[in-house]
Amino acid sequence: MKKSILALAACALLAYSTPVQAQKSEGESLLRAALKGWHVKLRAGFLLGGTTPLPLPQEIRAIDSYNPTMNVGIEGDVQKRFDNSRWGMALGVRLETKGMKTDATVKNYHMEMTADDGGYMVGAWTGHVTTRVRATYLTFPILAVYEISPRWELRGGPYLSWMYDGDFTGEAYDGYIRHGNPTGEKAEVTRASYDFSKDLRRFQWGVQVGAEWVAYKHLSVYADLTWGINSIFPHDFESVTFAMYPVYANVGFSYLF
């Protein structure tokens, strides 16, 4: 009797486990099929660069100081190598910050600012300017990949970015402003401020190029350069009279799952 009960229990357990194992095996097979030929990477790095007009306009006479601030990027990629080829492609999504702080000496620099006493001024500014830029982006790189050797690969292609938080602020100090244009009425200004954060463009795009070196089986070191193609301000924005482009290097580590 005892043996019969054990036999029935064993049959019931086998009958239950068989569909569960079949479902698990089927799920793993579907996952392998979905990722066939694709590799998943997690990347993390530091960004160094700035948001700048190219080339520098003649109104900016000197860059007195530059602070790159703390910028980081975290990215997930899927990458596939084409059959019998050194070429492949990579698609990714990256959460990143881009920022800087600069001090510059300028002459006849178009400025819209608010003085410490509350007065609003527009005109040609001569003196010193401090600018702070910081923005957080969700970026989607779409890259071609070329394998130079089993340990080296090159990557390049366009990227699309959506800015969901950004600041563009600064101060003008120790100078004077000529109202309207460089020949207008002159007024001495000790310190004034400006804030164009609400005018920043939400959508940006550009190009990205870089290289990656496999240090260990799953760990790589990479360096990328991203160059914005459209200005951080819309074309109809008149407070800043020249286009400004985000140009940043991204250096970090990549883990291959």
pLDDT single digits (tens) 60-119? 999 999 999 999 999 999 999 888 889 999 999 999 999 999 999 999 999 899 988 778
Confirm if 251 and 226 have CB atoms less than 8 A apart. Answer: no
What is the percent of the chain where pLDDT is above 70?
86
Find, among 206, 99, 204, 207, the residue nearest to 162 by Cα.
Answer: 204
pLDDT band at residue 21 under the 50/70/90 scheme? very low
How confident is the model over 235-254, as a mean pLDDT?
93
pLDDT single digits (tens) 171-197? 999 999 998 888 888 989 999 999 999
Confirm if 233 and 201 have CB atoms less than 8 A apart. Answer: yes
Within a 10 A sphere around the Cβ of 28, how many other Cβ atoms? 10
Q: Is 139 left (phi over 0), alpha (psi -120 to 50) or beta?
A: beta
pLDDT of residue 83: 84
| Residue 189 vs residues 39, 65, 178: alpha-carbon distances, Å | 58, 21, 10
Q: Which of 5-14, 93-102, 196-205, 243-252 has the lowest mean pLDDT?
A: 5-14
